[in-house]
Structure 1
Amino acid sequence: MCFKFSTLKLILFAAFCFNILCVQSAEHSTTISAGDDSTFCYKNGQISCNDFNGAKPEPNIYPSVAMRRYEFIRTFYPVLRFIANAYFLLVDAVFELYNAFQPVEQVGWSTANPLLFIPANKAAALIRHGKLKSLDLIDAYIARVKEVNESLNVAAHFNFETALKEAAAVDKNIGQLDKTEREKPLYGVPFTSKDNLWVKGFVTVDGNKWRKQYGTPAERDAKVVANMKAAGAILLAISVLPNGGMSTACDDSVYGIAKNPHDSRRTPGGSSCGEGALISSAASLCGIGNDICGSVRVPAYANGIFGLKPTNYPNHVIDSDGIEPQELTTVQPAMRKLTNGPMCRYADDLALAMAVLAGKSVSEYAVDIDFANNFRLFYVEDLNVLIGQPLQNEQREAVRKVKNHFEYEFNLSVQKVDFPLMSRVYELWGLDGWSPQMPKPMHLSDLASDFFEIYAGESNQTFWSWEFEVLRNFVAPKDEEEKAFVEKKIEKLHRQITELLGRDGVLLLPLWPSTIVYHHQEPFTGVFNNYYIEVPNILGVPSLAAPIGPKSPTTNMPLGVQLIASHDNEALLIAVGREIERAFGGWVAPGKVPKGMANDAKKWTMH
C-alpha cells in the first residue's frame, strides 16, 4: 500500500497537524492539578488521590502565558476533546475502508509439528532426561521459521547450521553430562533474539539501512544473549524490528514490512515486532526483546503472547549491555527507561526466562501466591489524556474480565483507582524525551517536509522520534525550575503507586486503547496511543502484558491487559500472569490450530 503524495495522505496529514495544534498547548499548561498532592481516600467506591481536602494548590511556576493557555483549554476542553475524537474516528474510518478491500491472511498450521507446542521448561526437562532429542526439536523449529517468515517477513538473520550442530552435540552428550551441565535450565531449547542486540558473528542491523550496508559483525554477545547460551539455549534466528527500534509498528524496517500472524493487513506491533510474531506463530518458544516505551509489551499484546518489562530504575534487574545504538545504554534519559525483557508463548516459561536473563535462580521468580489471602488488586480504566484515542469497549471489557475473575474466584474486593498525574504522562515523558541526541524540529514549516520524507522512506528518522520530539517541543520544561517541578511530580506519582501496591498489590489497566493498527496507520495514531505503556518506563516499575482470550469477535485480533507491580516484584506479576493464563487460555494462537496437534504435545509433557 502506498499513499505517496496522494490526496488521502494530504488530508490525513492536515488532520494530524490540526489535532496537534489544537490540543498540544494543553499538554504543557495542564501538567499539575491542584489536588495531586493528596493522599488516597475512598470516594464513591473508588480510591482517589485527587481529593482536595482543603489543601492549598502548589504555587504555579509556569509562565503566565502558559496559565492563560490553561484557562483557555479549561474553558474549551469539550470542543478540543471533540476535535481529537473526530480526528481518530476519521483516521480509523479511512484505514478500515481501505483495508476492507485487502486480502486477509493468517498463519497456517497444516504442516506444523506437535513438538512446537511443548513449553520451554518442559522441553528442557524432556531433553535432559533423554525423552526428547534436541535435534528433533530444533529441526521442527527451523522448518516453522522458514514457513512463517515466508509469509510474515519477521526474521532478519538465521542461525540454522550452527543450531543443528549444537543440537546434535546436546543429544550426543546427554548421557555424559556432569551435574552443572544437567542443571542448565534451557538445555537444548531454541530461542530467538531481537536484531538490536549483539550476537557474535552477526551484524546488529537495528532495522537501519546504513548498518545493514556498512555494519561489522559483533565481536561478542550481549549479556542477555550470553546468559541464554550459558543456560543451554540454542539461538535459532534473529528477528526484525523497525528502524532504530523507535516505533510501535514495523513498516519501515530495512527488511521490509513485517506482518501480523493474526491478520496480514495489520502490524505485529513494535519495536520487538519480529519476536512477537515468531513466538505467536510457534516459530520460537522464548525471545529477548527490549522496552523503552512498550517495545516488549505492545508486540506481546498485538500477537497474543506474554511480555515482561522488568524493573528498569533505579537499578536494572536485567543487564542492558549490548543494545544498539549504544547511546541508549550510556546516555540519560534513555538508559533510565530502557531494559531488556523476556517474551514467551506460555506464562509458565516467564519465570525461567526471567531468571536466565537476570542471572538469578528460577526459584526467585517461580512463586505461588495465595490470592485469596495475600494479594490485592486495583484497576484503572480511562486516563484523561486530551489527545489520546479514547479507550475502546473491547479493551475496557478485557480489564473488567480480569477484575471480575479475581473478585469471584478469590472473593477479593478489587478497587478502581485514580491517579491524575498518570494522565499527564506526556509532560512526565517530556521531561527528558528519548535522549539529548534526538533531533528536535524547531519550526512548524519543517513538519510537512520531515513527515513526507519519513513516510517515503527517505529519512533515517522515524515517525515516533519525529512525533515525540514535536510533542516535546510543546510539553518539555523550559528551564531548570520547571524541570525540577516536573521531576517532583514523577517522584510523587511513583510514591503514590508504590505505596498503594506495597509488596502484595498489582495494578491492572489497559495496555493499548484500541486494536493494533493497520500497516501505515501508525504515523497518524501511534504516538497518541502509548499513554498507558509509558508510565512503567517513566517510573521504572515492572509491567507484564498478558493475553485475554478469546479473540475479539469484531476484529478477530487478540485482546490483552497490562499489570504493574512495585520495584523488583516481577515474581508477583508472573504469578498473576499464570493465573490469567489458567482462567483465559493464555496464548491466543493465530488462525485455527488443529486440536490433534495440541493433544499430541500434551502426550510429550506427560512422559
Structure 2
Amino acid sequence: MLSVIISFLTWLYLSAVRCVFRLLWLPAGPTKFLLPPIDDPALVQSACTLALWIRQRKRSAESIVEAFRRRVEAVNPIINAVVDERFEAALREAREVDQRLDACTQEEREETGRAQPLLGVPFTAKENVLVKGLSCTHGLVLRRGMKAERDAEVVCRLREAGAIPLAVTNVPELGMWIESINPLYGRTANPYDVSRTPGGSSGGEGALLASCGTPLSIGTDLIGSIRIPSFYCGTFGHKPTSGWVSLDGCRCLPYKNYINRKITVAGPMCRSVGDLVVFLESMAPRAAGLAARVADTDIGALKICRWVDGLDSPWCRRTEKSLREALHAAHQHLQNSFGATTCRFQWPMDMVHAVDIWLNKLAGENKDEPSLLTDMKNRKGTVNLLEEWLRWVCGRGRHSFTLLTVSTSLKYFYKKFLNPRFDWRNAQKKMLEILGQNGVLLMPVMPEVAPFHGEPQCFWKDMNFTAIASATELPSTSVPLGLSKEGLPLGLQIMTTPGNDHLSLAVAAALEDKFGGWISPSPITI
C-alpha cells in the first residue's frame, strides 16, 4: 500500500511540474519549426558521403565547409549552440585539401581515402574538448576569454584522418548537468522545440548536429552526456568501451589521472550509424576493424534483453507511453525480422540506487583529485558555498543554480557514496553475468522525451537509466526511433559488454534501416 501511495504522489508531483512549465512557456508563442530551411544537399549527407564526394571531386572541400559555415550562422541565433569558431582557418584548410586532391590521379585519391577517410569533412567539438585557439572556459565566468593552447588527442586523430575542426559548442558549467546552460554563454535550445532542452553536457553538439550545422560531433559522457543529447535531439551517439578513446585534452582543468578514468569516455555523435563507426575507427586505435565486425554481426544469434516500463521503484518516473511503444516496436522488429532470442530483463539490483552506484564509482576515481569547489574557483582557492548561494539569491550569482545544488549535495553527502552497499563492482559483475558475450540490452535513455528548460532540476531520478551503464563501464549506443505526436524525438539506448561495441552498433544499424534514423527539424528544400 505504501508503494502505491508513493507512486501516486510521485506521479502527481511530476504532473504538476509539467503543467507549471507548460504554462510558463505559453506566453512565448510558437516554439516549434523555427529553423530556416535546408537548401544545400551537402548538409543532410553523412560524413562518409561527403568524404566520397570530395575525393571524387563532385564537390570541393571548400564548398562543403562553406555550406556548414552558412548553416551555423543561420541556426545559431535560434539554438545558441556555437560559442567559438574558426571559419576562416577551416576554409583555408579546405582549399589546401582541394589543391592536394586536384593534383592527384584517381588511384592516388582512392589511396588517400583509405589513409584519410574523413579528408575535407568539417567537425565540431563540445567546448571542454580542447581545439587550439578556441574557447576553453567550461562555462566558468572566471575563465572568460581563455583559449586552448593545443588540440585534444581526439581532435589530433580526427585531423590525421583528414577532418577539419570548425567550431566548439556550449556545455553546462563544468559539465555537471544534463542541460547546456552556463552564466558565460547562456542556454542552448532544442532545434525541434526551443522551449525544450537539448540535454547535456554535450547539448551544444546535439543541437547543432540535429540542425545540420555539423556532420560530425565530439562528445564526452560521464553520466549520459553523449546519450542524453543524442536522444533529446534525435541523433545517434555512442558511449564506447572505457579507454578506447583518449581523454587527453578532454577537460579544460587538468586532473592527475583523468586520462585513465573509466567512468568518463569521449565518443562520437552523428546522424548515421555508419558515421559512428568510421568516426570511432579514426579516433580509437582499439576500434581498428570495427566496421567489419559490425557488418559480420549476426543479430539473430544475439540475446536481446529488453526493459521498457520503468525501474520497479515508486520513487522513479514510469517511462512515458510514446517511448514504451517505440521500444516495443524495436523489440518486435528484432525478434520478427532476425529471429533473435529475446527476454525481459530483470534488474539484478534496486535501480532506485543506480545514481548512487554511479556516485560510488565517481567518488573512487576522484578521491585524489581537486574538489568541485576548487574547480569552481578555477583552482585558485575554494568556493564558499554560503556566499555563492547568497549572491545567487540576490541576483549576482557567479554560478548556475544547478552547479550550486550539485556542489552542495556532493559536499555534504560525499561519504555516503563510499558505502559498500553501493559498490559499483558488484553491479558490474551482475550486469556482465546477465549479458554475457552475446547479449545486448534495449532500454530507455531517459523516461521522457525532451523536457522543458529547467524541468530536469525538479527530479533527479531520471538519470538512473544512463547512470548504470557509466557505473558499470558498459558501452552503449543511443538510437532515434522517429518523433512523438508533439514532434519531439523518440529513441532508446542499446547496452552491451566492454569490447563488444560492434554488437550495439550492429543492432543500431538494423533499427536505423527500419525506423529511418535522424529526422530533420526543419524543412528540406533541395
Query: Taking structure 1 as the reference length, what is the TM-score of the superposition?
Result: 0.77
Q: 2:141 maps to what in 1? A: 209
Q: Which amino acid aligns with 1:407?
A: Q
* C-alpha spacing 1:245/1:449, structure 2 compared with 1 (3 Å): closer
Q: Find the structure with the greater CA-based Rg.
A: 1
Query: Alpha-carbon deviations, 1:237-272, whole Å to 9, x = none?
Result: 111111111111123351112111000111111110
How far has the Cα of 1:433 moved from its partner? 4.5
| Match in the other structure for 1:584 | 515
Task: Determine if the alignment matches structure 1 residue 90 to structure 2 residue 16.
Answer: yes
In 2: Cα distance, 1:297 partner to 1:478 partner = 24
Q: Given the alignment of the two structures, is residue 197 of structure 1 paired with residue 129 of structure 2, yes or no?
A: yes
Is the Cα–Cα contact under 8 Å of residues 323 and 329 in structure 1 kept in the other structure? no
Indicate if the aligned counterparts of 1:276 and 1:305 stay in contact, CA closer than 8 A.
yes
Q: Give the counterpart letter for 1:539 in structure 2.
A: T
Gaps of 5+ in 2: 375-384
Instruction: Say which of 429, 447, 454 aligns to 1:513.
Output: 447
Residue in structure 1 matched with residue 347 of structure 2 by the alignment: 419
1:167 counterpart residue number: 94
Count residues with an aligned counterpart.
502
Tell me, in whole angstroms, the C-alpha distance in 2 between the residues paired with 1:181 and 1:114.
24
Q: State the one-letter code of the partner of 1:571.
A: H
Match of 1:144 in 2: 71
Deviation at 1:401, TM superposition (A): 1.2
Give the letter for the 1:486 counterpart: F
Report the alpha carbon displacement of residue 132 of structure 1 after superposing the two structures with TM.
2.2
In the alignment, the residues of structure 2 paired with residue 398 and residue 383 of structure 1 have an alpha-carbon distance, to the nearest angstrom, of: 17
From the superposition, tell whether residues 331 and 324 of structure 1 become closer, same or farther in structure 2 (CA, over 3 Å): closer
Q: CA 1:566 to 1:124, structure 2 compared with 1: closer, same or farther past 3 Å?
A: same
Query: Could you tell me which residue of structure 2 aligns to residue 335 of structure 1?
Result: 261
In structure 2, the residue matched to 1:251 is 181
Corresponding position of 1:559: 490
Are 1:533 and 2:462 matched, yes or no?
no
Q: Which residue of 1 aligns with 2:416?
A: 477
Q: CA RMSD in A?
A: 2.7
Q: Which moved more, 1:316-325 or 1:531-540?
A: 316-325
Q: Whole-Å Cα distance in 1 between the matches of residues 144 and 515 of structure 2?
A: 41
Q: Distance in 2 between matches of 1:256 and 1:467?
A: 19
The alpha-carbon distance between structure 1 residues 465 and 337, as it changes in their structure 2 partners (threshold 3 A), is farther
| Amino acid paired to 1:400 | H
Aligned-residue identity in percent: 28
Deviation at 1:413, TM superposition (A): 3.3
**1:52 corresponds to which residue?**
none
1:327 positional shift: 4.9
1:119 equivalent to 2:46? Answer yes
Q: 1:528 to 1:373 in 2, by over 3 A?
A: closer
Distance change >3 Å, CA 493–CA 457, structure 1 → 2? farther
Q: CA deviation at 1:105?
A: 3.7
2:492 aligned with 1:574: no
Q: Is the 8 A contact 1:419 1:493 kept in 2?
A: no
2:480 is equivalent to residue 547 of structure 1? yes
Contact 1:548/1:584 (<8 A) preserved: yes
Equivalent residue of 1:414, what SS?
strand
Aligned to 1:501: 435
**Paired AA for residue 427 in structure 1:** D
TM-score, normalization by structure 2: 0.88
- Which runs of 5 or more structure 1 residues have no equivalent in the other structure? 1-74, 441-445, 598-607
Verify the 8 A CA contact 2:211 2:522 in the aligned structure 1: no
Q: Which amino acid aligns with 2:67?
A: A
Q: Is the 8 A contact 1:251 1:267 kept in 2?
A: no
TM-superposed CA distance for 1:115, in Å, is 1.3
Tell me, in whole angstroms, the C-alpha distance in 2 between the residues paired with 1:274 and 1:354.
Answer: 20
CA distance in 1, matches of 2:394, 2:21: 16
Q: Contact 2:355/2:463 (CA < 8 Å) preserved in 1?
A: no
Specify the alignment match of 2:399 in structure 1: 460
Task: In structure 2, give the amino acid aligned to 1:254.
Answer: L
User: Using the alignment, how far apart are the partners of 1:472 and 1:411 within structure 2?
Assistant: 50
Partner of 1:429: 358
Residues 98-125 of structure 1 show CA distances to partners (whole Å, capped at 9, x for unaligned) of: 2233221434343521111221112112
Q: Which of 403, 417, 422 is the matching residue for 1:486?
A: 422
Please state how far the C-alpha of 1:504 moved relative to its aligned partner: 2.0
